[in-house]
Amino acid sequence: MSYLILVRHGQSIWNLEKKFTGWVDVDLTENGKLEAKKAGQSIKQEKIEIDLYYSSFQLRAKNTLKIIQDELRDYKKVKSAWELNERHYGALTGLNKDEMKIKLGEEKVHQFRRSWDLRPEPLDKNSPYHPLNIETYKKIPVEKVPDTESLKDTYERVLRFYKEEIENKISKNILISAHGNSIRALCKHLFDLDDNEISKLEIPTGNPLLVILENHKISNCRYLDKERAKDLLVF
């Protein structure tokens, strides 16, 4: 038996401000730090020894994982991968979701957020929010840096990394600290969700999803914080 633990970062500053964040590298709120601390405590209660840690390149995911490791008193090296980054929201980046609902209509905003293959307009490369202008991403090859992404685009880069770097290690206990859409992409693959189901999947902040594997196949899964659990559409 082995375990795969998927953790969406704790609440970020732009989560609180209801902004489309994507690749903008914002940090956690105080509540987000508390969520990360509780995540670490809940993993500790399961008495699972983590063998491998993965994170996106983004501060909110990295700092969530640091807090979790502090709670576990486990400081194994973390492999950071830009492929685990949040979806890039293109020209929506930095805009307030509630204001956009008023401007574009709730249905259109929902389509931008949850449709499978709809991309927002590209973000201007001169924008300070563009990844090319953010120090965090300077080591990513320029041709790999997106201007906008659909959930399908996110799924393809996340899955490529998972298959190349993680899938062959699945007999070990692995923890991944990432984002709503990158975890949603992983869940689509792991649980064999169709394009419509994946749009309904909600991933709460700072609540570890424990996936239990036997002989490399999922036998069960559950959120460790039952009070903040969301419907997994399976199990």
- With cut-offs at 50, 70 and 90, classify the pLDDT of residue 227: confident
**Residue 138, CA distances (Å) to 58, 82, 86, 156, 174 in order:** 12, 11, 17, 22, 27
Question: Is CATH 3.40.50.300 what the domain over 2-37+47-163+170-228 is classified as, yes or no?
Answer: no
Tell me if residue 86 is catalytic: yes
Reduced to 3 states (helix: H, G, I; strand: E, B; else coil), residue 139 is: coil
pLDDT in tens, 3-30: 999 999 999 999 999 999 999 999 999 9
Residue 53: alpha-carbon gap to chain centroid:
14
Q: Could you say which of 9, 88, 130, 179 is catalytic?
A: 9
The confidence score (pLDDT) of residue 32 equals: 98
Does the annotation count 9 as an active-site position? yes
pLDDT for 29-79, tens place per residue?
Answer: 999 999 999 999 999 999 999 999 999 999 999 999 999 999 999 999 999
pTM higher than the cut 0.85: yes
Catalytic residue (choose from 17, 71, 83, 86): 86
Q: Is the pLDDT of residue 139 over 60?
A: yes
